[in-house]
Structure 1
């Protein structure tokens, strides 16, 4: 019986789950893989799923999809929009949405496996399916590896993965070399001296300290990194205080840093620390700030030879004009941990999910940024067709390129 992929996608979209809480999603994916005849293990790296299809002698191909959602309130207006709530690690109830397309990733994975199972008489080797949790935390791949999957499953000859983006549906973006940036997530705690809002002279105000720090941090990318290079310094959250007439004792900043290489990474991290400590000193802080690393993600680097093979396979299946070089994305991914730990080549590509007509109209009007929602937007949702079909074709044809 053919799996209804549209029904699967809309169901997953309506029932998103936060990182390391993807129990329902994992159970659905695991059951589909079992129904397709794979050996399945659940609870890998907390909520991850691994499926194996051993189909004779030949290469070992790992294919990976992530499945966690984001604390975003959906505003797409779709009939199948999420109204789900979840509890974040701080214990706060938050809206939850598949604002990054991971529901589409799981759907395309299940469809690709179904296709490969149907065609198993035409290939030989071992397919290992990774349904990964907590990509949004940058922690899920590491959790699955630390849980020992490399010791329980055949090591890959290649690792493959894909991500839906606001490219037009029908377009694939893939390039050799650095496909996505490296990243660090930091929490900076600035320590002041709290007191009454009417007596600021008797305090050391961490809110003002934080404001000065945020503004100065923006000069790293604009004034310290070569304009021909790439660096992103984003302060994604600021938390300080509970009441308007109380100057708090501390302020917390959460930073997202992106760079293409280790040299730039070291420069940016050094500059962040210098600025944070200098602004604290300039504010008269009596205690040094605390700088904590939440995660470190390596650059997503596509192997040249393997990428050439995948590109050729995608061009054969979808047409040469449908496969483009999208340039380096400044977003980051944890998929490369699988390839790095295994010593295997990686190929990771993007596939379009935007309505091609709307995309063309927005491009013609110079309004892509305004009119085409991007990943992590409350308005982001790929068009169902042909996004599902292209994702299935891309992943299955890439895997077939390596399976004997």
Structure 2
């Protein structure tokens, strides 16, 4: 007798999609002995992650479906404490150790004697290790992380082929698996101002790579850049143009958790709008007088609302980029002070609209954010 694994997740699978194994006994026990299976989720080193579960099948046709997505989602996250936040240390590329987690199911066949209540476990077994990534794949890209047909890795960012960045921005990209990433910066006449080739290795790991031009020794401001990515199946080029204006003293864009698992950057026009909204609760106190009690406002809080305009092209790739930004559960506004200090501010995206300009040749993504940092006053007054 044995337990058969009839279905397993892909070797590389999305944590935010179903992560399913199926099990079935090849035969049942003879009464008073019944067959049952104990199992738990473990990491790639067989360290137990979940509680131990027990399954007692009704018959040999019974199938156990185990979806561990709720268990693995808390195990993965995409790095947010990026090097540009702690100058002057300049780390161009680093491993994101938390964006992927290797897991497997440890399971044991048991003979349980219903007459004596004695359980006899047999040899513990395990499924193959599955790498769960901090991403959410949909119908159009559910095979995106399948390393087959020569594919050895994947860019974890949704990017259009043509992008417009500012000098004050801090864009990064993430690459999973094995591949090559090249970045080259040019001046107005096409002279190379600085470049680098990153050979990314490790089939079950991911690297984040800085695209901040000052990290590559540029001595003057670039006019354009070429980003080249090879995932084992050939090169994909991304052309970048730079806005000559500076956004110092303002928000330069938004960094967001991309559905593919990296953190993508959307540069904004410098002319951001802001307003302060008041939040709190109104209560009525006993014994009102001219000075105190009566109708009162408590738990007061000043909430900053920021409006950003993101310039985009008119291609399907631009639409996919906008959709990835809007679908993201995590947004951080990138701000640069008048002295050049860069910071990230967690924000909630409240609304997003797309408007077409220049006779359909480009689009503007209008975004409204609410900053989440606490700017409350005292809880109450008289």
- TM norm structure 2: 0.23
Q: Which has the higher contact order (CA 8 A, sep 6+)?
A: 1
Q: Looking at CA atoms only, which structure, 1 or 2, has the larger radius of gyration?
A: 2
More helix by share: 1
